[in-house]
Amino acid sequence: MMRSRSALLLAVPVLLAAALVGCKKDPSPPNSGKPEGAAPPVATSVLMIDDPRADIGSPLFKPAGPPAAHSPAAPGTEHIVIPNCTVQFEDRQTVSAEVDGKIELIATQMKRRPDGVWEYRLHDGTVVTHDPAKFDPKAPHPRIEFNPRDKLALKDNPEKWVPYYKLREGDVVADDQILAVLDDSLVSTKLASAFQIKEAAAQGIKAAQDGVKFTRAKMKLYEGKEDLFSKKEGLDDLITLTRFEENLAQSTSTIAKANQEHDEAVVMMHRHRVRSRVDGIVRNIAKRPGEYVRAGEKIYEIQSTEKVRLEGNLDVQYYGRVKRNMAVTVEPAVPSAPVKSHAWHRQEVAGIAVTGTATHPLVVSAGLDGSALVWDPNLKDEAGRAPAPTNLPHPVPVRCVACTPPGTRSALAVTGGDDGKVRIWDVSNPAKLPAAPAREPADAHGSSVTFVAVCPDGRYAATAAGREVFIWDLDAGKKLYALADSHRDGITSLAFTPQAQLVTASKDRTLKVWRVGAEKAHVAKTIDHRSGAVDVLGVSPDGGRVLFDQDKTRIDLVNLADGQTTGQLTNVGPSVAFATLAVFGPEYAAPNSPVEKSPYSIVTAGGEGDLKGGLQVWHAPRAGGRGSEVARFITPGRVGVTCAAFSPHKDAPFLVVGTTAGTVHVWTPPAGPAKKLEGRVTNIDSTDPRFVTVRVEMSNKDVGLLDRSAATVIVNPVP
């Protein structure tokens, strides 16, 4: 019995090795999609067994020193984090007429510049202008209107018409901004009459004052010379003085009354201008020009943006540590649309990368339609830049692409296709991109190449297909060796570190850290127990951290040296899961700040639910702790995100993303630290056995949070 058990134990490794040799991710033939008659690639799918004692030779490339050590965050009371709080505009203002009258304009007056041109500046920075010298009444601007009275009274002088910008629902307005003009013909007449009376009275006062002055001067001549003037002349002058003084009093009274009437007319004129009393957004326009309104009747409804309410879910066990009226910190994540979008691919974009060319970075997007398009993001819309993409033609769907980083000897793009082949393209010259690969190695994977990574010096690449990983010499265009078969399921991402390591992520829910040499590689560390749904997990540019999907709502920053968790990115709630990818951005240091003191920049993609079609941009402290969401990018139509890449150039920062719809989108990532604002807890509602709803209110003046946007609330809890 003992001999039989021993024999059985000895046989297990042999049987296991035999079983592993036949394991593949994709049962489809490697040449599916290739034209008939094409030479088949040399498939090398034998799976190697890792031997940690094997001599891997010299490092595959010159390793960098270990990443800078960071002192851990100072101990203290741990903050309570409430992520993904929903921002809501709560207050609405009903804008009503103050007087009875007919509405002439639902519009706001434009502002006249010193050069005579009128302008209206929209909330997004767009400026609408009206130049009277070039105005053609037969071709007016669709959003510019004029007062009907001006058009009637000045019909022969349209250059004198005062322009108004027509308001619509959704427009942003400011406190005290004119929103509508009522017919003020009668008030204008009273105002003009009062002004004329004031002018006439002012002239009467001037004349009476002069008369009083001259009469008194004449009477002064009588003093001491009564024998030279008759008594009658003296009485006549006295009567004249009295009349002048009476006229002066009457004119003063008249001008006082005219001033009162003028001021009343000004007030009435002001009341014929309907104004907003808050900064806000036009939600409803209840009336139209030409309609009659009574005092108190609604014309507009304005959604106030001056104050916002935030609501988020907090785990129920923290209920007793959050109190009403408690001050909290708010970190907003304002959603934004892409600055550039293209729909050049007919099918899903499976891979995307940015070239390392310092003066002219290009994007390479790989699609399942068999195209690998090279295109210029041209964020500044500079003249003379190629507007259309150039295709690097492939006979099969292209599933991945990677580019050599800045500072390498040549700018290469490495693509992997459904035929298992790797193709190396020279994209050094943006003006003359190739029609055929510079090198196409004869060796090939036995199934679709799903991921490719290029090492920091740009001389070597790693590709994954199922459970296979091959190491390639890009200069020679040949395969060096295959990694041992250490994963139990397909590999979903690869990442080199500057320390000559390769990190592989697999569907078997593990990460493996490989020491890669010139001849072989072996596993130095396994990090297991992943429970999330993120396929692509990135490594920090300094090689110090790897992203680890702890579960669907939490991504850890794990120290590659010891496997310890140093920080987290967290989403809370059933509809805010991480999915698809979580990658580091390049190291963009803030001005006058060393790189090692700036936070890590990370982008994550969302799955189904509130984060579908969205990306979250995070800043995570290098010393460890909680990461802060600093921006949220939303794809048009909320189509699913498949891949993402940062520009490696600090002088031209951008993030480019591919989608399931075949579209590509470009964003400019935020450069500065996350905004930190202050709010106050107003309510804590326990309506769910798992969560409590925390409500926070804060001022939105000079902040600009959007309705239904997201923010993170940080609570310094009660002990």
What confidence tens digit (pLDDT) does each residue in 332-343 have?
Answer: 877 788 999 999
Q: Which domains does the chain have, with CATH numbers?
A: 77-91+306-339+670-719 (2.40.30.170), 92-183+273-304 (2.40.50.100), 186-271 (1.10.287), 340-549+641-667 (2.130.10.10)
Is the predicted pLDDT of residue 688 greater than 50, yes or no? yes
CA distance 106 to 97: 12
Give the mean pLDDT of 435-460. Answer: 97
DSSP labels for 420-468?
S-EEEEE---TTS--SS-SB--SEE-SS---EEEE-TTSSEEEEEETTE
- Residue 451 in contact with residue 642, Cβ under 8 Å? no
Strand partners, 542: none
Is the predicted pLDDT of residue 22 greater than 60, yes or no? no
- Residue 64 in contact with residue 147, Cβ under 8 Å? no
Is the predicted pLDDT of residue 31 greater than 90, yes or no? no
pLDDT at 151: 84
Give the mean pLDDT of 592-603. Answer: 72
Is the predicted pLDDT of residue 38 greater than 70, yes or no? no
CA distance 682 to 696: 6
Q: What is the pLDDT of residues 459-507, one digit of tens each?
A: 999 999 999 999 999 999 999 999 999 999 999 999 999 999 999 999 9
- Which of the four pLDDT bands, split at 50, 70 and 90, describes residue 594? low
- Residue 313 in contact with residue 692, Cβ under 8 Å? yes
pLDDT at 596: 56
Is the predicted pLDDT of residue 102 greater than 70, yes or no? yes
CA distance 675 to 87: 15
Both tokens of residue 316?
A: 């129920």
Q: Say which residue, 162 or 235, is predicted with more confidence.
A: 162
- Residue 172 in contact with residue 89, Cβ under 8 Å? no
Question: Which of left, alpha, beta for 254 (phi over 0: left; psi -120 to 50: alpha)?
Answer: alpha
pLDDT at 231: 72
What pTM does this model have?
0.72
Give 553's contacts (C-beta < 8 A, 6+ positions apart). Answer: 570, 571, 572, 573, 576, 577, 578
**What are the strands of the beta sheet with 600-609, ordered from one edge?**
335-336, 628-634, 614-620, 600-609, 576-584, 534-537
Q: What is the pLDDT of residues 283-298, one digit of tens each?
A: 999 999 999 999 999 9
CA distance 164 to 146: 6
CA distance 243 to 236: 11
CA distance 266 to 400: 70
- Residue 629 in contact with residue 651, Cβ under 8 Å? no
**Burial category of 189 from C-beta neighbours within 10 Å (exposed 0-12, middle 13-18, buried 19 and up):** exposed
Give the mean pLDDT of 599-625. Answer: 88
Both tokens of residue 488?
A: 């139990």
Measuring CA to CA, which residue among 518, 521, 519 is closest to residue 494? 521
- Which of the four pLDDT bands, split at 50, 70 and 90, describes residue 706? confident
pLDDT at 623: 81
**Residue keyed to tokens 């339609």:** 369
The pLDDT mean for the chain works out to 85
Is the predicted pLDDT of residue 47 greater than 60, yes or no? no
Cα angle, residue 581 at apex, residues 49 and 706 outer, rounded to 5° = 170
User: What are the CA-CA distances from residue 716 to residues 77, 427, 554, 622, 690 (Å)?
Assistant: 8, 52, 21, 22, 21
Give the mean pLDDT of 403-407. Answer: 94
End-to-end CA distance of the chain: 64
CA distance 181 to 147: 9
Is the predicted pLDDT of residue 162 greater than 70, yes or no? yes
Give the mean pLDDT of 39-56. Answer: 53
- Which of the four pLDDT bands, split at 50, 70 and 90, describes residue 387? confident
CA distance 67 to 69: 6
User: What are the CA-CA distances from residue 445 to residues 17, 22, 272, 465, 470 (Å)?
Assistant: 20, 14, 78, 6, 8
Phi then psi for residue 548, to 5 deg, are: -135, 120
Is 251 strand, coil or helix? helix
- Which of the four pLDDT bands, split at 50, 70 and 90, describes residue 383? confident
Give the mean pLDDT of 242-268. Answer: 81
pLDDT at 187: 82
Give the mean pLDDT of 6-30. Answer: 36
pLDDT at 588: 60
- Which of the four pLDDT bands, split at 50, 70 and 90, describes residue 117? very high
Measuring CA to CA, which residue among 655, 644, 63, 647 is closest to residue 356? 647
CA distance 209 to 472: 104
Least confident of 78-82, 233-237, 249-253, 428-432: 233-237
Least confident of 162-176, 349-363, 590-604: 590-604
User: What are the CA-CA distances from residue 609 to residues 123, 227, 298, 548, 606 (Å)?
Assistant: 30, 111, 38, 22, 8
Is the predicted pLDDT of residue 75 greater than 70, yes or no? no
Is the predicted pLDDT of residue 593 greater than 90, yes or no? no
Give me the amino acid identity at 714.
Answer: I
CA distance 472 to 456: 14
- Residue 402 in contact with residue 452, Cβ under 8 Å? yes
pLDDT at 113: 94
**Residue keyed to tokens 């004029």:** 146
Is 252 strand, coil or helix? helix
User: What are the CA-CA distances from residue 558 to residues 331, 535, 539, 595 (Å)?
Assistant: 24, 16, 10, 19
Of the ranges 54-63, 231-240, 553-562, which is most confident? Answer: 553-562
Strand partners, 48: 484
Q: Say which residue, 199 or 446, is predicted with more confidence.
A: 446
CA distance 635 to 451: 23
Give the mean pLDDT of 105-120. Answer: 95
Measuring CA to CA, which residue among 664, 671, 633 is closest to residue 363? 664
CA distance 471 to 520: 9
**What are the strands of the beta sheet with 422-426, ordered from one edge?**
398-403, 412-417, 422-426
- Give percent of the chain above pLDDT 70: 88
Phi then psi for residue 655, to 5 deg, are: -120, 130
- Which of the four pLDDT bands, split at 50, 70 and 90, describes residue 650? confident
Cα angle, residue 29 at apex, residues 24 and 30 outer, rounded to 5° = 85
Is the predicted pLDDT of residue 246 greater than 90, yes or no? no
- Residue 330 in contact with residue 698, Cβ under 8 Å? yes
- Residue 397 in contact with residue 350, Cβ under 8 Å? yes
Phi then psi for residue 607, to 5 deg, are: -95, -140
Both tokens of residue 30?
A: 């490697």
pLDDT at 179: 95
> How many alpha carbons lie under 13 Å from residue 387 in its C-beta half-sphere?
3
Pairing between β-strand 600-609 and β-strand 298-304 as defined by DSSP bridges? unpaired
pLDDT at 599: 85
CA distance 599 to 201: 73
**C-alpha 149: how far from chain center:** 45
CA distance 257 to 194: 9
pLDDT at 672: 66
Measuring CA to CA, which residue among 368, 452, 396 is closest to residue 659? 368
CA distance 131 to 136: 10
Cα angle, residue 457 at apex, residues 456 and 459 outer, rounded to 5° = 115
Per-position b or e across 251-273, b if 16+ CB within 10 A of its CB: beebbeebeebbeebeebeebbb
Give the mean pLDDT of 50-71. Answer: 81
Is 391 strand, coil or helix? strand
pLDDT at 564: 92
